[in-house]
Amino acid sequence: MGKLLIVGTVAFDAIETPFGKTDKILGGAGTFIGLAASQFDVDAAIVSVVGNDFPDSYIKLLKDHDIETAAIEVVKDGKTFFWSGRYHNDLNSRDTLETQLNVLADFQPKVPDAYKDAEVVMLGNLHPDVQLQVLDQMSKKPRLAILDTMNFWMDNTPEQLDEVIARVDVITINDEEARQLSGEYSLVRAAEKIHQMGPAYVVIKKGEHGALLFHKGEIFFAPALPLKEIFDPTGAGDTFAGGFAGHLAATGNYSFENMKNAVIHGSNLASFCVEKFGTKRIEFLERDQVNERLRQFKALTQFDITLA
Amino acid sequence: MGKLLIVGTVAFDAIETPFGKTDKILGGAGTFIGLAASQFDVDAAIVSVVGNDFPDSYIKLLKDHDIETAAIEVVKDGKTFFWSGRYHNDLNSRDTLETQLNVLADFQPKVPDAYKDAEVVMLGNLHPDVQLQVLDQMSKKPRLAILDTMNFWMDNTPEQLDEVIARVDVITINDEEARQLSGEYSLVRAAEKIHQMGPAYVVIKKGEHGALLFHKGEIFFAPALPLKEIFDPTGAGDTFAGGFAGHLAATGNYSFENMKNAVIHGSNLASFCVEKFGTKRIEFLERDQVNERLRQFKALTQFDITLA
- DSSP assignment, residue A169? S
Q: What is the largest CA-CA distance in chain A?
A: 68
Q: Look at residue A217 in the predicted model and tell me its pLDDT.
A: 92
Q: Considering only CB atoms, which chain B residues are within 8 Å of A295?
A: 307
- Is the pLDDT reported for residue B236 higher than 80? yes
Mutate to test the interface with A, among B40, B290, B296, B301 (most CBs of A within 10 A): B301
**Mean pLDDT, residues A269-273:** 98
pLDDT 10s digits, B279-302 = 999 999 999 999 999 999 999 999
In angstroms, rounded to a whole number, what is the distance separating the alpha carbons of residues B308 and B305?
Answer: 10
Q: How many CB pairs under 8 A join A and B?
A: 98
pLDDT 10s digits, A192-228 = 999 999 999 999 999 999 999 999 999 999 999 999 9
Q: Look at residue B91 in the predicted model and tell me its pLDDT.
A: 85
Residue type at A239? T
In angstroms, rounded to a whole number, what is the distance separating the alpha carbons of residues B164 and A209?
Answer: 30
Q: Considering only CB atoms, which chain A residues are within 8 Å of B189?
A: 228
**Mean pLDDT, residues B30-48:** 98
Ordered by where they begin, the domains of chain A are 3-301 (3.40.1190.20)
In angstroms, rounded to a whole number, what is the distance separating the alpha carbons of residues A210 and A260?
Answer: 13
**Mean pLDDT, residues B269-283:** 97
Q: Look at residue A92 in the predicted model and tell me its pLDDT.
A: 81
In angstroms, rounded to a whole number, what is the distance separating the alpha carbons of residues B188 and B202?
Answer: 10
Q: Look at residue A308 in the predicted model and tell me its pLDDT.
A: 64
pLDDT 10s digits, B62-101 = 999 999 999 999 999 999 999 999 999 888 889 999 999 9
- Chain A CA closest to residue B188: A228
Q: Look at residue B92 in the predicted model and tell me its pLDDT.
A: 81
Among B170, B160, B172, B159, residue whose Cα is nearest residue B131 = B160
Taking CB atoms within 8 Å and a gap of at least 24, the contacts of B153-157 are B153/B125, B153/B127, B153/B128, B154/B180, B154/B181, B157/B127, B157/B128, B157/B129
- Is the pLDDT reported for residue A38 higher than 90? yes
Q: Look at residue A262 in the predicted model and tell me its pLDDT.
A: 98
CA dihedral defined by B45, B59, B71, B67, rounded to 10 degrees? -10
pLDDT 10s digits, B154-203 = 999 999 999 999 999 999 999 999 999 999 999 999 999 999 999 999 99
Q: Look at residue B305 in the predicted model and tell me its pLDDT.
A: 93
- Chain A CA closest to residue B230: A186
Model confidence band, residue B1 (pLDDT cutoffs 50, 70, 90): confident
**Mean pLDDT, residues A43-58:** 98
pLDDT 10s digits, A156-199 = 999 999 999 999 999 999 999 999 999 999 999 999 999 999 99
**Mean pLDDT, residues A46-64:** 98
Q: Look at residue A307 in the predicted model and tell me its pLDDT.
A: 82
